[in-house]
Structures are given as structure tokens and as C-alpha cells.
A = this chain, B = another copy of it.
Amino acid sequence: MDSTPARTHASLDSFVDRYAARTAGMTASEIRALFAVASRPEVVSLAGGMPNISGLPLDVVGGAINQLVLEHGPVAMQYGSGQGVPELREQITEVMRLEGIEAHPDDVVVTVGSQQAVDLVTRIFCDPGDVVICEAPSYVGALGVFRAYQAEVVHAEMDAHGLVPEALEQAIAAVKRAGRTIKFLYTIPNFHNPAGVTMSAERRQRVLEICRREGVLVLEDNPYGLLGFDREPLRAMRADEADNVIYLGSFSKTFAPGFRVGWALAPHPVREKLVLAQESATLCPPQFSQMAVSAYLATHDWQGQIKQFREMYRERRDAMVGALEDLMPAGCSWNVPDGGFYVWLTLPPGIDAKAMLPRAVTARVAYVPGTAFFADGYGSGAMRLSFCYPTAERIREGVRRLAGVLEDEIELRATFGASLDRDDVDRGLPPGYDAPGTDVN
């Protein structure tokens, strides 16, 4: 007999029947597949969420870390506490005070980026089949975590002022009617990834009130809060509600992501569980990274540095919005974010952002299709454009290329009409969804 079939079979995954059920939910994200192509230098990537850290003073950082090794090396290079370095947790409370939070360092747990905080919170709360309520759209990395823990995501719509309270109430009621258990609301109140909108102060109070009444814990994810362009930061939701909010913060955008230092601030009993989960996951978060961040905060004008970052990102936001206004064909709409990294672009009816992506990459521009930010297949009529990493000039060039690709698509539709329609194309928004910021476009 020919042995070729056996060989072919051997090249497949021989472990396929042995993985845990949860592993079926671990799939390569659309962003991840994109990174490979978008990282070619000729492509303008409006896809990634990498901060631009070129403004950091390398001599200051290098000097502080060298000093750290010389003076505290045996501690910095040793195992540490599962909860994190006490001095850093003290400094974290100072960072959070900028958004109105009064907290004790004892209720802070340091994590390997705030991504790990999402992972640990989900780990301690979610059994398979439990429901997490998320904004529509929501952060792709969080959706991946919820899927990996076999939790089900139910989206609630946003508008230009953030999560819509009535939509949240409806979602909670629908889940409860179905006899399902809601474990928490996952929300990004400031400069939303990917929607670019900020939840208004009044909305925050209403959302907190609804969640308290309905017994739904709030997971407030706030990596961008200090990166507002036009005003002082809004009060964090956690500032007004300590008992029912887990707050997540990060140094990835206000300092640098390569240290992977984020944190969770949690009600005391939850904090205890998070520490146990952290010990099981890593024994302790990287001591060296934590002490490096702590040394940076202690020796550098970190608030001045954040101010510089804000000005740099504002300039890039202006470049992107200006280019969109100048170049986008009719039928597109977008919001003008007042902070953070992202613009959410809604396409003319019938244009599928995911189907168009290969043509865009051929035209040397990349973005993330809106579908990545929904757990339920919505979003094909939208995309996320990021203005954080490329220069203003490159952003303008990227938008120019994208406009060209879109014009071709629109022309194709005008020529061939509805015969191009696909059932799975939608405006990127669930029924009743009001495009974020269309009123400010």
C-alpha cells in the first residue's frame, strides 16, 4: 500500500482530540493575522495599537535601571510577592488619584499588563456559559479572554456618549429572562477601543446605578484615561463606587508596554482571590519590570511625559480626522475621539471591511475590520483606524490609500449594483445601534 495518506495524516495535529474544550475558543485573532502583513515597511498600518514611545528619554530610563541593578539588584532580580511590589502599588494609587480614585495599596494587584488582569478576573468569576456584558463594539483582546473561558458575550449598544443605559438594562433583562447568569459588565469608559467614544459623567452614574441595582459587577478597563486631548480626565467610575467595581489600569500607554505592568484595583475579598490566581499563574509578576517602572516614576517627570504624549497623539488625531474629512468618499462616517488611539469608521452600505482588506493591503494600507470587535458577527460594515503609531504624514498617506480603495469598491458597487450584496454584510452595528460619534462627524 502507498504510505502517502499515513504521512499526510501524521502532519496533522495528533493532539486534536486531547485538548480541553476551552481550547476550541482559542483562535488566531484577525488583528494577529494582520500583523504579519502590516509590519512590512511599505504598508501604512492603521491597524495596530502600539503606542509611540519614541519620545521617552532613553538616557534617563537606562540610567535609572542601571542604578536599580547596582543598588537593589539582589531584590529586583529575586522572586517577589504575588500581589506585586509594595512601593509600586503605593505609586499606582497616586496615578489613580488623577482620576479621582482614593484607594489603599493593599487593594491593588499588579498584573502582566492589564490584559492579564482581564484574564485573572475572568478566571475567578466565569464558569462556562456565564454571560459577560460588553459594549458593542468591544476590545478584541478582552473578547478573546471571555471566549477562552467559555463565557458568552452579550453586547449592549453605545452612542456618542458611551454605553446606552437603556440598552444595558435591556441586555440585563434579556439575559436574566433566559435564566443565564451575568458575571460582570466589561466597559472601557474613556477613549474606547475601538469606538473612540467616552462615556459621559452622567452616563457613568446611571450605569453604576443600574449595575448596583441588578447585582452586576462592573469591570472598568481604563488604559487610556490619562491620554485625553481636550480636557482634564473625567472621574473614574471606581471613584464613585468602591464596592461593585473592579478597576484595571496599565503603564503600557502612559509609559511603555514592554515592561508588561498593569494592575487591578478590587474590593478586598476579590483582591484576595486575584492574588491567589496570580500566584497560580506566574508565582509573582516580574519583580524587575515592576521596580523598573517604580524607578522611572520616582526619577522622571512622568506627568510631564504624559503631557507630551497627549500633545503628540492629539496632533496625530488631527492628522487622521483632517485627512478623513479631505479624502473620504461620501457615505463614510466617523467620530472625532477626544483622546486615546482610535477612530471608528462606518462604511457606505454594502461595503464589507473584511472582504476589502486584501485589496487595501495590496494598496499598502492596513486596518482592523469591525468584525474583530464583536462576538456575534456584527461589524463587517465598519473598521478601526488607529492613529497612535504612524507619523502624521504617514497617517495622511494611509488615509489617502484607503480612500482610493474605498472609491474603487463604491464604483464597483455602482456598476454591478445589488448583485454584489452579501447576506453577511451589515453596517457594523447591532440593530438599534447608533454609530458612535456620527453626530460629531
Contacts and interface: CB of A to CB of B under 8 A. Distances in A.
Interface of A: 12-16, 18-23, 26-29, 32, 50-51, 53-54, 56, 58-59, 61-63, 65-70, 73-80, 82, 112-113, 115-116, 119, 123-127, 130, 141, 144-145, 148-149, 183, 217, 243, 252, 256-260, 267, 269-270, 273, 276-277, 279-289, 292
Contacts of A119: 280-282
Given A15-B269, A183-B18, A288-B258, A280 B144 contact: yes
How many copies altogether?
Answer: 2
Nearest to A35: B81
B267 A15 contact: yes
B79 A282 contact: no
A350 to B, nearest CB: 33
A68 to B, nearest CB: 8
Given A20-B149, A50-B78, A62-B73, 7 more contacts: A15-B269, A23-B277, A112-B282, A141-B280, A260-B283, A260-B286, A288-B289
Which of A12, A68, A80, A257: most chain B CB closer than 10 A?
A: A257
Nearest to A63: B66
Which secondary structure characterizes the binding site on chain A? helix
Given A124-B26, A144-B279, A243-B14, A53 B78 contact: yes
A76 B258 contact: yes
Contacts of A141: 279-280, 283
Contacts of A115: 281-283
Nearest to A267: B15
